[in-house]
Each structure stands twice: as structure tokens, then as C-alpha cells.
Structure 1
Amino acid sequence: MNAFSSVYMPRAIFYGRESLKMVGKEAHSRGTHALIISDQIMESLGYVNDCITHLKESNVSYTTYLDVNTEPTDIFVEQALDLLKEKECDLVIALGGGSCIDTAKAVAVLATNGGDISEYMGNKRLASENPLPLIAIPTTAGTGSEATDVTVITNTKNDVKMMIKQTAFLPEVAIVDPLLTVSSPKKVTAATGVDALCHAIEAFISRKSHSFTDNLALSAIQLIFENIRSAYENGDDLEAREKMALASMQAGVAFSNASVCLVHGMSRPIGALFHVPHGVSNAMLLPAVLEYSKEECIDRLAQIGAVISPDLKSIAKEEIANHVVNEVKKLCVDLNIPNMKQWGIDQQALDKVVQKMAKDAIASGSPANNPKVPEEHEIVELYYRCFDYNMSEELNIS
């Protein structure tokens, strides 16, 4: 165990209903011309216009880049960076899900440090200059990207999802307004919610966890189990939405400072090669990977069990750990999380790339933080287990 730990967070966090109104004031104190990185859906919902209204009220000019229409890629980063330079923008605002925020993080860093985003993978290149100020405004309760120093960008040249972690990628300001998450469809609410749960669980069982991240992770886990079903079934439940937004941010701070584990290492190749959204690919993997890891983190899973089912404190830790894994399975069933086959991934296509996926997963570094560190062949076996994993059958639900 380390003698000391470190924690990195945004300089300012604004949380709660109608906190979006702070974007004008915060932008004005950091620049004069903002590049808003968002997508067409956010524009159609009126969120981009709401942001612009607040910027105008604070005399901040703006340019919009609204083409982040998939998981973030190096192409989006290049296009947005070119626009930022052309319009001479001096700050960046990310408005949307994790894809928009991760794209904006890369743009803010490259604007002052130069190079190609691929050069920063594995810390082969370090950001030596301060990035442009970045204000991150999430519209989903899931990625927690508004509070992390991590960006995940797909390299379209080799189909690898690059996980890049440096403090330069940490937003300066996070504005977490749960009213912006009300528009999230049920499938997005489910996928991003389980993504946040995955962040919290992995942060808690990670080999790099520490006391500060443990408290945030456990709080997030409790909030998610208590509220995700309500947010999923009734998207207008503002209290559930608010608590999910808080949980997502807490989980983001937790994993950013404690690291994620095997689920995320395996998830990124699924997204890169089969274009499965990040939250969905994490959810596909979480139950089976928890089963695989369980024997090496029984104490930690038992602590999670004490949070989500306090009445179980008197039974053996092994039983509580099994209970937690089953509760995760039940949650995925209730949220209609698909397996890889149900999503539409063809097994022959998987056969062709599964070895590459396992190698890329290990190369990401995340599996090394897992309580049980897998060999490459074990990751291949887990991919095949998750391909047609039937959680209802596992739970004997007809």
C-alpha cells in the first residue's frame, strides 16, 4: 500500500438543477470566444441554444462543432481542432455525453501542446503546456468524464480505442445539471447508468483504490442501486435523475483517481471493432467479469453488499459476495442489457479479431489493476462467455 495517495478534480464543480446558467459567467472569466463541442441531438433538444443564450448574456462569442455523432474518434478531434484554430477560440465547452466531452478534452490539450492525439497514448508524449480552459457539461448520467483526467479516443487507422490519462485532460469546470439528463432515452439511461456502476465498482475493487476513492465509490454504488430503475422506468423522475447525475460524477472522480480494471480493458476493443457504445459494452461484460474476479475480492464485494443490502451483514462474506454479483445480474436483466450476440455481433466476426481484442485489452493497462489479473487466453475465454451470456438463465428467471 502506498504511503500516500493523490486526488485530482476539476477546479470548480457546479451541481444541481439549473446549474447550466453558470456557463456564461465561468466562460467569461476564462476567455472571449468559446468552441462548443456537441452533437446534432443536443442541438435539436435546444440544449446548445440554451448554452449560447447564457454565453451571450456574459458577452462571450462562440463557434459550434456539432459533428460528434458516434463514439469519439481522432477524426472528430482533428476537425474540431481545425475549426478552433480557424475561429481563434480561446476556450472549449463540451456539451453532451462522454463522446462530446472526451473529444473536447483532446482538442483543449492539442490546441496548446500540438501533435496528434495518438502520440499521447501510453504517455509517449506528455502535455507540458496548460490546455485551453475546458468547461464540461454532461447530458447523461454515466461516463463521469466531466470529472476525470481520462479521454478515450478511437484511432481510426488501427481500430484501437486509445485510453489516455494525464492531468492535462481534466476539465477546469464541471457543470452537472440533472435537468439535461431528462431527455435521455431508456436505452441510454440504462447503458450510461450501468457504465457509472461499473466505474464505481471497479474503482472500489481496483488495486489502486484508496480511502478517498472508496468513500465516493460506495456512495455512487448505493445511489445507483437506489435510483437507476426509477430513472429508467420514469425518465421524468427528477429526484432519481438528480441522484444518478451525482452518482455518475462521484464514480468519475473515484475511477479517475483509483483506475478502472478488467471490464474497461475488455470493453474498449468491443467499441473500437464493433462500434458498440461504451456504456453498453461495459454492461455486457460486468456480470461475467465480476464472477471471474470474485474469489480475489470477496472482502471488497462484501463491503458493497453491506451498502446495497444492509440486512445481509450477519451472513458469511462469501455469500454476500455472491449476492452482489447476482444483484448486478438482476439489474442488467431489469434494464434489458443485451449480450454481444443480441446486440448483433456475428460470432465469425468475433473469431477473426478476438485475439487482437485480448492483446489490445492487456495493452490498455486496465486489466493489471484487476483483483485477479488475467492471462491473454483467459480474456479470450471471457469474450466468448460474454458473447451469448444469458443473465436470466444464470438467475433461473423464466
Structure 2
Amino acid sequence: MWENGIDIYSVRVIRTRTNLYFGVGAIQYFADIADQLTARGITSVLVVTGRSSYKRTGAWEVVEKILNSRKISYALYDRVTPNPTTMQADEATALGKGIRAQAVIAIGGGSPIDTGKSAAILLRHPGKTARELFSQGFTPEGALPIVAVNLTHGTGTEVNRFAVLSIPETEQKPVIAFDCIYPTWSIDDPALMTGLSKEQTRFVSIDAVNHVIEAATSKSTNPLAVMLGKNTIELVVRYLPFAEKDPGDLNARYFLLYASMLGGLSFDNGLLHYTHALEHPLSALKPELSHGLGLACLLPAVVQAIYPQESFILADLLKPIAPDLEGKPEEAHEAGKAVQAWLNKCGVTQKLCDVGFRREDIDKLVDMTIKEPSLAGLLEQAPGYANATSVAAIYMNSFMPLV
């Protein structure tokens, strides 16, 4: 396997639209980033994090020491929760305004980084709110420079132009996509992820798999998105069992993180459709629901639904999971069950009925999916023709295991 020749301790700069420091020990290269901030005349930054992981992983100890050594002042917003809200982005922005922040440093998984991206826009647009931003009330003209210190191997947000926040009062969870929120610099250090629990490890890895299944089968897909998708699934299937067996296995974390990064690039190019469009209403209604678990509940039914239109691509993409698929449209149910079997093997057996939803909720879920403009935009990317009927069918087929 090609991975055997990789020195995971050799930190490399991977250049996409973001300058990404990747490898074990990459957090120490925050010093290089701080020097570049200083060279740009940046002396004040807003730091956006969750409640504890930024300290527990050791990331903050390194970042704070380097900021102080470079005489870069900061304000710390450390109240981002899973499924973050527009209110949190507004609070972070207000803190940044108080110190006249010139850049944003986000430390965490998708939630803190997406909140930090949002604050970076709002700090460039005084008087605007996060709810306006996520309700398409204005189109940003730019954002402050963003530094992303990533603490999970799932979202890919450290290398792409997307952000997601919930609007609790309207029960919406929209997505935005703007070039101005590509992080200028990012850090992917596998050593910061050894503290992820088994559940977190599974869920973030499942998120990466969902990204590429959707990106490779969307109406906007391209050969790059498909190729990145194949590599992502191969790596997740190969290395997830090692990370679950030994959370401190840096080799496994390295390649799961690399897979996640590839997944972020894949959907940055190919976009998303059904699974993410249908999951956002789930976690908007139940903020305690892990995004990755919501995706896992939906994925087998989504694969079954789209397989007839994308059988050749999916048969190739899913080879590590379902090697016997031949790319025939009539294999749709078999493909969905194969994905379900892989999820079960990973220890994820829950369906919508297990996470608190009832069949009576389907009409509301369909309505939320169809009427939210950003989610309707995702549905436009789905293979075939996505409508209320196809969305309802996927929700219905996700209540119980496929049989």
C-alpha cells in the first residue's frame, strides 16, 4: 500500500485554496502562521472555539504561547456548541469588534470553524447579523483572514468555502458558500485527534464518506471529485477500525484526517445533495443529534434512491464496502443494504426511530427540506429529479433498517 511509504511526522504544506500544514506536529507550525499575520500588520485577533477540546487537545497551549510571543492580542470566544447557532456567531462577532480584530482563529471541529468563518464575514460587514447572512439577506464582499486549527477528521471545512449554522427560532439550518471564507491557513495535526471518543471517531469519519458519495454523484460532479471520493472511502474503510481499536494510533489518525481533507476538497468541487439536505432539518429540530449520526441514519436509503441513476460511479466508489456490485441499476437495494451493513460493522445501527423521530414527523421534515432555500439548492444537485415525493421516500426508508 502506498501509505506505508509516508512519514507521518514530516509536516508538509498542501496548497489548495488554503495553505494547509498537514502532519503529526503541525500545530507547532502555528509559529509560521503567526509570523505571516505579523507581516501583514495584524496585531489583534478573535479566537473562536468550543468549550473544552481546544484546551484538552493541547492546541490552545501552543497557540496562546505563540500569540503572546508575537505580541498579538486576542479575544477568546469559547462557547460554541455542536450544531452552533447564529446567536453564537453574533456573540463572537461582538467580542471581535470590541478589540478591533483583524483576523479570526478558529480552533475545533466543524462547529467552531464554521462559526469563526461566519464571524470573519460579519466583522467585515458592521451592522449585519448572522441571521441575515444565513437567510441570504446580503452577499458578503469579503471576510477577515481566517486561520483554522482543525480538531476532527470529518468536516473538511478547513479547506473549503462552506459554513453551516442553525437559526433556532425558525428551525432552520442553512448552509452558505463564499470564496471569501476559504481559510488562508489551516492546521491538520493528527496528534490533536487522539482524544476523540469512539463515537466521535465513527461519526466524523461517516461524515467524510457522505461528503464524497454526494460529491461524486451530484449534477456538478467532475473527475476530480470522483477520484478524491474513491481515495476517501478506501482510506476510511481501511483505517477506521485501527483508530477505534487504539485511539492513539497516529498512523490511523493521519490517514483518516487525510481522507477527511480529500472529502472536503471533493465536495468543494462536486457539491452535496440529498444526505446533507435531509440531515440539516433533523439536527435543526434536535440540536443534540450528532451530524454524523444523522447522516448515517439516512445514507443507506439515499444510496438506494440514487443508485439507478449513478450505478457505474457508485459501484466503483463503494468497492471497499461492496466489492460485488457490478454497476447495474437493479442493484440499488443491494447497494443500500451493503452500506447499511458497513455502518453496522462500524457500530452505528441507529435509524430515525432510534434518535427520537416518528413517522408523523415526515411531513414537517419534508417541508423544512424543500422550503429552506439553501437546502433546496442542494436538492437541485441530486441525481434525477428531487422533489417532495423523493425526499419523503428517503425519510420513510430511513426510519427502520432496509430489509
* TM, length-normalised to structure 1: 0.88
What amino acid does structure 1 have at the position aligned with 2:224? F
Whether contact under 8 Å (2:175, 2:374) holds in the other structure is no
State the partner residue of 1:127.
140
Query: In 2, Cα distance between the equivalents of 1:289 and 1:310?
Result: 16
Whether contact under 8 Å (1:339, 1:390) holds in the other structure is yes
Whether contact under 8 Å (1:146, 1:174) holds in the other structure is yes
Matched, 1:356 2:367: yes
Query: In 2, Cα distance between the equivalents of 1:286 and 1:18?
Result: 34
State the partner residue of 2:316.
303
What amino acid does structure 2 have at the position aligned with 1:377? T
State the partner residue of 1:42.
53
State the partner residue of 1:16.
23
Decide whether aligned partners of structure 1 residues 84 and 311 sit closer, same or farther in structure 2, where only a CA change above 3 A counts. closer
Moved more, 213-222 or 350-359: 350-359
State the partner residue of 1:263.
275
What amino acid does structure 1 have at the position aligned with 2:236? I
State the partner residue of 2:161.
149
Q: What is the CA distance between 1:88 and its match in structure 2? A: 1.9
Moved more, 183-192 or 210-219: 210-219
Post-superposition Cα deviations, 1:107-146, rounded to whole Å, max 9, x if no partner, equal 0011112412233347552221x31110111111101111
State the partner residue of 1:95.
107
Query: In 2, Cα distance between the equivalents of 1:358 and 1:144?
Result: 23
Whether contact under 8 Å (1:110, 1:116) holds in the other structure is yes
Q: What is the CA distance between 1:49 and its match in structure 2? A: 2.2
Query: In 2, Cα distance between the equivalents of 1:301 and 1:181?
Result: 30
Query: Which residue of 279, 291, 297 maps to 1:284?
Result: 297
Which has the larger share of helix? 1
Matched, 1:328 2:335: no
Q: What is the CA distance between 1:371 and its match in structure 2? A: 1.3
Query: In 1, Cα distance between the equivalents of 2:353 and 2:238?
Result: 29
Moved more, 49-58 or 244-253: 49-58
Q: Match of 1:66, SS?
A: strand
State the partner residue of 2:36.
29
Matched, 1:370 2:382: yes
Whether contact under 8 Å (1:178, 1:242) holds in the other structure is yes
State the partner residue of 1:72.
84
Decide whether aligned partners of structure 1 residues 310 and 278 sit closer, same or farther in structure 2, where only a CA change above 3 A counts. closer
Query: Which residue of 67, 75, 83 maps to 1:63?
Result: 75
Query: In 1, Cα distance between the equivalents of 2:330 and 2:397?
Result: 23
State the partner residue of 1:165.
177
Q: What is the CA distance between 1:370 and its match in structure 2? A: 1.3
Q: CA RMSD in A?
A: 2.4
Whether contact under 8 Å (1:261, 1:366) holds in the other structure is yes
Moved more, 150-159 or 320-329: 320-329
Q: What is the CA distance between 1:260 and its match in structure 2? A: 0.4
Equivalences, count: 380
Decide whether aligned partners of structure 1 residues 155 and 16 sit closer, same or farther in structure 2, where only a CA change above 3 A counts. same
Post-superposition Cα deviations, 1:43-68, rounded to whole Å, max 9, x if no partner, equal 45133223212323443332211000
Q: Percent identity?
A: 24
Q: Match of 1:232, SS?
A: helix
What amino acid does structure 1 have at the position aligned with 2:182? L
State the partner residue of 1:3.
none
Query: Which residue of 231, 246, 257 maps to 1:245?
Result: 257
Q: Match of 1:164, SS?
A: strand
Post-superposition Cα deviations, 1:188-229, rounded to whole Å, max 9, x if no partner, equal 111111000000111111110112222222211211111122
